[in-house]
Amino acid sequence: MNKETKNKGLRVIPLSGAETVGLNSYVVEYDDDIFVIDYGVTFPAGESYGVDYLLPPLEWLKQNKKRIKAIIVTHAHLDHIGGIPFVIDELGYPPVYGSPFSVEYLKEKLVEAKKDKHTKLFVTGKDDVLTFGNIKVSFFHVTHSIPQAYGVCIETPEGRVVYTGDYKLDPHPINEQPTEMHKIEELGRKGVLVALADSTNAFEPGKSKSESEILENLMDIIKKAKGRTIIATFSSLVTRLGGVIEAAKKLNKKVLVTGRSLESNIKIATKIGYIHPQNGVLVSRKDLDKIPDNQLIILTTGSQGEPMASLTRIANNKHSFLSIKKTDTVIMSSSIIPNNVLEVQKLMDAIARRGARIVNSKLMNVHVSGHPNQEDMITMAKALNAKYYIPVHGFTSFASQHRLVLSEAGIPESSIFVPVEGGVFSFKDGIMVQEKKLEVEEVKVIEKTMLPTNEPLIADRKAMASDGVCAVTVVERKGQKPQFTVNLKGFAQADVTQEVMNSLKQRLSNNITSMKDDKAVKKSVYAVLGVYFHKKLGRYPVLAVDVVREG
């Protein structure tokens, strides 16, 4: 276990987000001060054994919580901000800083978690500078797929640490200005010691496409649609949501929004002035009978085939007031997360069975990433002109490819370090040294409860899933030998299971002939089970023993 550390000098620690997609959290530590940049949440991949969410490692932060000066939020995507409501109390409610949209979004999540009353939220503009003793924190606007995303510069006496956050170099973004390259270039001229940079699209050549191009394609599809246009996308793609609403204005069409997260994000974006829906553009359920199908756009969640999302319920006739029509055009305006390929296919099949037209990114450019491609990564790195680079965001292969891209562009490979989660980069007199990594473990959440680090629940569920459970009841009746009942579930097919249970009963009867003490009896039973299952069969079912005394 990591104990509280008292550092002198500058350390940069990618707590999480360096070996996985999502789950971003990074620490900048100078002397006794700690700054946490982002604290996200993600969903478990593959078989989760009931785990609903994963959070970045927490133990080291808890042990050092008195030294946390601030949590700095770069933008409002869940993989950067979603873990804060789970842990803000565990960290002693340090102040949280972010853009107007990020703060409004986080405020709603804190209300849901009932932690809003004690959390100190501060809105920071992109030109604001925060001062914490001899440390200054400044921001630069970056274009992403959500409003008011920031990159962050933490200026310490040892040097400047810059974190790009999620960004793209879109010359024609929707509803906002392009990434502030002039600020980034100015930081590069002043001198950047180390830059942590987005690696998400490290395998994508060229430049990332503009959101404006996607909107033009969407508008063309909407114009030609014979009936309703249903657009499914991530609720967090607020730039696209705003673009569709603007397109509806131009095309004199109406927009119906279905999905709680979509409605919430549009409400926040409208509140801060990012989206400007005119009266009558956004309509509700009660207005539907008055609107011809070819004048209606439906914005919905469910582009990943999530079972409870609006589009899935619409496609399966389980939505409260919407269903698919043959004249509908359904646009899947998002990339498919690899783990969701099968669910998305099931969804498209359900839509196709009802005769609607499906448009996805394989047919037309109806989605573009909010992250930089290779040429953009090179542009960013050269603008920052850092002494050291740490590629973050994504799997190790992403960071390694990012290093290759930069080195082939002329940046010395010796200055680019592929991190591990919990890795510690220490700086003294401008020289980087990699220290021993922290012991880190992601936090598992079931419903709204964070599991303790050593909680055996998930390990037990894994064991039950692979080898089942064996329950033994030992019954003692006065004047008789102990009797054994053995139940084995989820272990093997019926005939093998019966054979194992019979063998176990015989072994227990031969080895345990008296019952002086319940604790000793249980210990003896576990020993017999352990030898039989582990050494003889090489299997590890969950074991449960109960002792019953009668008479």
Helix, coil or strand: residue 511? helix
Q: pLDDT band at residue 280, thresholds of 50, 70 and 90?
A: confident
SS (H, E, C) 103-154: HHHHHHHHHHCCCCCCCCEEECCCCCEEEECCEEEEEEEEECCCCCEEEEEE
429 has catalytic annotation: no
- DSSP structural state of residue 362: T
pLDDT (average), residues 214-233: 92
Residue 371 among the catalytic residues: yes
Candidate from 203-212, 363-372, 517-526 with smallest mean pLDDT: 363-372
Mean pLDDT score, 409-426: 97
Query: Which CA distances in Å does 263 have to 75, 116, 283, 284, 307?
Result: 19, 21, 12, 11, 19
Q: Which pLDDT score, from 0 to 100, does residue 462 have? A: 83
Q: Determine the pLDDT at residue 2.
A: 55
pLDDT computed for residue 363 by the predictor: 59
Count CB-CB contacts under 10 A for residue 3.
7
pLDDT confidence bin for 25, thresholds 50/70/90: very high
Mean pLDDT along residues 263-271: 92
So what's the pLDDT on residue 175? 83
**Which DSSP string do the residues of 454-479 spell out, in sequence order?**
T--HHHHHHHHHHH-EEEEEEEEETT
Active-site residue, from 144, 367, 371, 402: 371
Mean pLDDT, residues 175-199:
96
- Average pLDDT across the chain, whole number: 92
pLDDT at position 44, please?
82
Residue ranges of the chain assigned to CATH 3.40.50.10710? 211-359
Q: Exactly one of 33, 79, 166, 198 is catalytic; which is it?
A: 198
Q: Average pLDDT, stretch 248-258?
A: 94
Residue 87: pLDDT band (50, 70, 90) is very high
CA–CA separation, 315 and 223 (whole Å): 23
CB distance 91 to 62 below 8 Å: yes
The more confident residue out of 366 and 369 is: 369
Q: Which residue has the tokens 């939020």?
A: 73
| Most distant CA atoms of the chain, gap in Å | 91
Instruction: Write down the pLDDT at residue 1.
Output: 46
What CATH number labels 211-359?
3.40.50.10710
Greater confidence, 276 or 429?
A: 429
Report the topology of domain 457-550: Ubiquitin-like (UB roll) (3.10.20)
Q: What is residue 7's predicted lDDT score, i.e. its pLDDT?
A: 65
Q: Are 173 and 211 in contact (CB under 8 A)?
A: yes
pLDDT at 378 over 90: yes
Distances (CA, A) of 286 to 283, 290, 310, 414, 422: 8, 9, 18, 63, 53
Helices 181-190 and 374-384 sit at what angle, rounded to 10 degrees?
40
**For residues 71-95, average pLDDT:** 97
- Under the banding of pLDDT at 50, 70 and 90, the label for residue 489 is very high
496-513: per-residue pLDDT in tens? 999 999 999 999 998 887
Asked if residues 294 and 225 have their Cβ atoms less than 8 Å apart, the reply is yes
Q: pLDDT, tens digit, for every residue of 298-314?
A: 999 988 888 889 999 99
Q: In which band, very low, low, confident or very high, does the pLDDT at 364 lie, cut at 50, 70 and 90? A: low
pLDDT above 80: residue 249: yes
Per cent of the chain over pLDDT 90 is: 73
**pLDDT value, residue 461:** 85
Asked if the model's pLDDT at residue 139 lies above 90, the reply is yes
- If one compares 174 and 92, the residue with the highest pLDDT of the two is 92
Percent share of the chain, pLDDT over 70: 97
CATH architecture under which domain 10-206+369-450 falls: 4-Layer Sandwich (3.60)
**388 contacts 415 by C-beta, under 8 angstroms:** yes
Name 490's bridge partners: none
- Amino acid making up residue 248: A
Residue 551 has a pLDDT of 62
pLDDT-wise least confident of 28-37, 117-126, 189-198, 451-460: 451-460
Q: Write out the residue limits of the CATH 3.10.20.580 domain(s) in the chain.
A: 457-550
